[in-house]
Amino acid sequence: MKTQYYTATTIDGYIADDDNSLDWLFEVEGGDEHPFGEFFAQVGAFAMGATTYEWVLAHENALEHPENWLEPYGDTPAWIFTHRDLPRIPGANLHFVRGDVAAAHKEMVAAAEGRNVWLVGGGELVGAFADAGLLDELILGVAPVTLGSGAPLLPRRLTSRRLTLTDVTRLGQFANLRYSVGPPTS
């Protein structure tokens, strides 16, 4: 069982533009070649921040069409980290939480029942997991795009002492990088 950050990023290290848009990602040729189904089949629980959840609500119209959530994620439990009240997608297995990631991670691991925990994003939330030593792997699809600014991939300093490259593959225009993540150093 691993806790994984699986996401797409630009060459200059952003996961969304200044408006929290992913339009840049959907313009990249070959983006549909990513084996998300294979990845998600190994996921037993996942987490995302409020901004990511709100993006899903808006762009997938998930409140009016809950099937847009349920089709890819089914009944897999999701933890939404937020400090504000957010609407619940009908029929989705959602846990709204705030505060320290360690307690929620413990619940997620138990719910995953031996399968992986996926950290969807954003980068600040994933950074909190990394700070707590609860991030095992980065799986990055690097797109041939630069944004210059936006939401950073991981707004933390993680040096090569914590990161070990374990795999490199190419899917269409994406360079896929996989890194194991070691514990925080003192």
- Paired residues of 140 in beta bridges: 7, 177
So what's the pLDDT on residue 71? 94
So what's the pLDDT on residue 36? 84
Domains of the chain plus CATH, in order, are 3-181 (3.40.430.10)
CA distances to 9, 85, 126 from 177, in Å: 11, 35, 17
CB 15 within 8 A of CB 88: no
Place of tokens 């980068």: 123
So what's the pLDDT on residue 33? 61
So what's the pLDDT on residue 29? 79
So what's the pLDDT on residue 185? 83
Counting as low any pLDDT under 70, the low residues of the chain are 30-34, 186
Question: Model-level pTM?
Answer: 0.93
CB 159 within 8 A of CB 87: no
Whether residue 122 is preceded by a cis peptide bond, meaning omega within 30 degrees of 0, is yes
CA distance 178 to 116: 15
Half-sphere exposure of 16 (CA within 13 A, CB side): 15
Task: List all residues 6 or more positions away from 177 whose beta carbon is below 8 Å from its beta carbon.
Answer: 138, 139, 140, 142, 165, 167, 168
So what's the pLDDT on residue 169? 93
Tokens at residue 14, please? 């952003």
